[in-house]
Amino acid sequence: MKIWANSGDSHLVEPDDLFTTSLPAELADRMPRSVKDDDGTHETLYVDGQEIRRRMPRGAAALKDDQGLSVYERAPGANDMVQRLFDLDGEGIWAELVFPSIGIWMSSIQDPKLLSAGCAAINDWAIEYQRYSERYVCTATIPLLDAEHGVAEVHRAAGLGFKAAYLSVTPGLGALDWNYDIWEPLWAALEETGLVIAFHIGTEAHDASTMHGAYFRGPGGALINYMETTYGGQRAITKMISSGVFDRHPGLKAMVSEGGATWGPFVADRLDEAYRQHSSMVRPQLRRLPSEYLYENVYASFQHDRSAVQAMTAMGWRNVCWGSDYPHIEGTFGHTQKTLHELFDGVDEASVRRMTVGTFEELFPHVPPAPANGTE
């Protein structure tokens, strides 16, 4: 039986000429650009004069799967808003929370004006997807070197019709972290506009020097580095809860995409223990236990994780949402139905419904309902 699911984690693939067609040449030249090696194992990212060499491009076209197919060969709709819906229909994916791809590297830009121009260019392009179909819930890319530019783009994005704001898991290079007061206007703007905060794991701001220090080498490197990309979402949420962001802005909702789900109850327990046992050192004091914010204001999407289902059914965290990561190689394209059945067969119907469609609908109530399971 076909299972239909909304996806809390998908990606647009920006066209190569996005910046050159939308920005003056002197700005376009400094925007993130990826050049892949012929063998597909490495790429060089050019971001505002920096060259970042790296292995394992996240979702890059050159990366091949087990059958030797690139994401474009696997997912013909990866960069086509019309064809993409046919891909989704075939997979049983209904609506998607859609992040940028190359836009994830915007966090490595260090010039606030350049960054704002680039984010606006991405957002003006991305919103056309959402205008084409309500099944695309696009995330607005927010410039995060300072609150002032961030707030301006949050308001502009809300005006364009965005329902979600993509935030990298750390603010821009050199900026104070999420637990500092300088971000207060950003949280206020997000709460006021009702935009859902959408963190995506693996989006820490890097420059060419920190990039090398941030990655592990040696035996096991591929697995070690994949794990390492996971922690950033947990750190961002920890900083927001601990510094009282949700205390002051109870209307905020924050999704962490692609990072699994069992970390939620785990982080909640750790924070509660610290809050009780170290209470004399806790600043600021919170109105409620840390876990209450995590269970209510925070959401998570997972794609293959077997344990994620138990985060809801056994640990009681209701804000768990499945995600496809379409069209990235970590995702489920080509085997979505197999994955959904492996995850959800034998699980009670209410929990399945919550994880496949309900959590997403709670965040984005404007999205039309998914077809009934079993229909094409």
CB 261 within 8 A of CB 311: yes
Long-range pairs of 274-281 with CB within 8 A, sequence gap ≥ 24: none
Shortest spacing between CB 280 and Mn ion, in angstroms: 41
CB nearer to Mn ion: give 91 or 325.
325
Integer Cα distance of 99 and 103 in angstroms: 8
Choice between 232 and 290, CB closer to Mn ion: 232
Spatial neighbors of 302 by CB under 8 A, at least 6 apart, are 258, 259, 260, 261, 308, 320, 321, 322, 323
CB 23 to Mn ion: min, Å: 26
Select 4 or 166, whichever has its Cβ closest to Mn ion.
166
CA distances from 331 to 258, 303, 305 (A): 9, 7, 11
Q: Which CB sits closer to Mn ion, 172 or 202?
A: 202
Task: Give the integer Cα–Cα distance in Å for 287 and 291.
Answer: 12
For Mn ion, the closer CB: 58 or 135: 58
Give the residue with the Cβ less far from Mn ion, 101 or 319. 101
Q: At its nearest, how many Å lie between Mn ion and the CB of residue 145?
A: 23
Task: Give least dist CB 101 to Mn ion, A.
Answer: 9
- Which residue's CB is nearer to Mn ion, number 237 or number 245? 237
Under the criterion CB under 5 A, does residue 305 sit at the interface with Mn ion? no
Options 8-16, 112-120, 157-165, 304-312: segment touching Mn ion (CB under 5 A)? 8-16
Could you identify the residue written with the tokens 């012929």?
38
Sequence letter at residue 66: D
* Min dist. Cβ of residue 268 to Mn ion (A): 23
CA 361 to chain centre: 17
CB of 49 to Mn ion, least distance (A): 27
Convert 36-75 to b/e letters by CB count within 10 Å (16 or more is b). beeeeebbebbbbebebebebbbbbbbbbeeeeebbeebb
- Considering only residues 202 through 261, tell me which ones interact with Mn ion, judged by CB under 5 A: 258
Sign of CA dihedral 276, 280, 284, 286: positive
Quick check: 9 binds Mn ion (CB under 5 A)?
Answer: yes
Assess contact for 339 and 356: CB atoms under 8 A.
no
> What angle is formed at CA 96 by the lines to CA 93 and CA 102, rounded to 5 degrees?
120
Identify whether the C-beta of residue 98 lies closer than 8 Å to the C-beta of residue 364. Answer: no
Count residues binding Mn ion (CB under 5 A).
3
Q: Which residues contact 80 (CB under 8 A, 6 or more apart)?
A: none
The least CB distance from residue 362 to Mn ion, in Å, is: 20
Q: Which of residues 38-57 bind Mn ion (CB under 5 A)?
A: none
Report the residue number, 238 or 257, with the smaller CB distance to Mn ion: 257
User: Rule CB under 5 A: which of 316-345 touch Mn ion?
Assistant: 325
CB of 175 to Mn ion, least distance (A): 23
96 binds Mn ion (CB under 5 A): no
Identify the three-state secondary structure at position 88: helix
Minimum Å distance from CB 301 to Mn ion?
A: 8
User: Segment contacting Mn ion (CB under 5 A): 3-11, 44-52, 111-119, 223-231?
Assistant: 3-11
Query: Which lies closer to Mn ion via its Cβ, residue 166 or residue 183?
Result: 166
- Phi, psi angle pair for 43, to nearest 5°: -140, 160
Q: Which residues bind Mn ion (CB under 5 A)?
A: 9, 258, 325
